[in-house]
């Protein structure tokens, strides 16, 4: 399955990168996945290999844009081998579950990091 999401966050890429840099936060964000960094790109994001409930790769790419960051999220993974790994209904349920979980993660992060700051307003104006 391929899950792609983009969310604009009104903070710098450095601030967003810091939110993903702590491995203890990964277990909270993706409790059923075991992640291992294979590319730490600093303020541009991270790339992980994924094991556990899914097998594949995941990436958070942080693109500076306007007065914030466009957070790109990519999950390219399959269900682990098993009797129902290719079941279309199970794949559809898993894809929908991951899409909703991704949006919860990115919007939650947006709310936490922005602290109510609207786009176009400097942080000190609050």
Q: Give me the domain span that covers residue 88.
A: 2-115
Query: In the chain, what percentage of residues exceed pLDDT 90?
Result: 84
- Within-domain flag for 124: no
Residue 126 banded pLDDT, cuts 50, 70, 90: very low
For residue range 4-16, list pLDDT tens digits in order.
999 999 999 999 9
- Within-domain flag for 80: yes
Q: Structural domain tally of the chain?
A: 1
- Within-domain flag for 84: yes
Structure tokens at 92: 């559809």
Domain of 107, CATH number, reads: 3.30.530.20
pTM of the model: 0.90
- Within-domain flag for 68: yes
The pLDDT assigned to 123 comes to 65
- Within-domain flag for 58: yes
Average pLDDT over residues 78-98: 92
- Within-domain flag for 111: yes
Average pLDDT over residues 62-81: 95
- What's the CA gap between 66 and 64, in Å, rounded? 7
Average pLDDT along the chain: 93
- Within-domain flag for 55: yes
- Within-domain flag for 122: no
pLDDT above 90 (res 124): no
């Amino acid at each position: 399955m391929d899950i792609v999401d983009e969310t604009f966050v009104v903070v710098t890429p450095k601030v967003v990168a810091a939110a993903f840099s702590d491995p203890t936060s990964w277990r909270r964000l993706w409790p059923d996945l075991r992640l291992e960094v294979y590319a730490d790109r600093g303020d541009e994001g991270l790339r992980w290999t994924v094991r556990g409930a899914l097998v594949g790769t995941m990436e958070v790419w942080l693109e500076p844009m306007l007065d914030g960051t466009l957070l790109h999220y990519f999950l390219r993974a399959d269900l682990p081998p098993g009797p129902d790994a290719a079941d279309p209904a199970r794949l559809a349920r898993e894809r929908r579950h991951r899409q909703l979980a991704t949006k919860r993660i990115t919007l939650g992060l947006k709310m936490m990091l922005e602290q109510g700051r609207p786009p176009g307003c400097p942080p000190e104006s609050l």
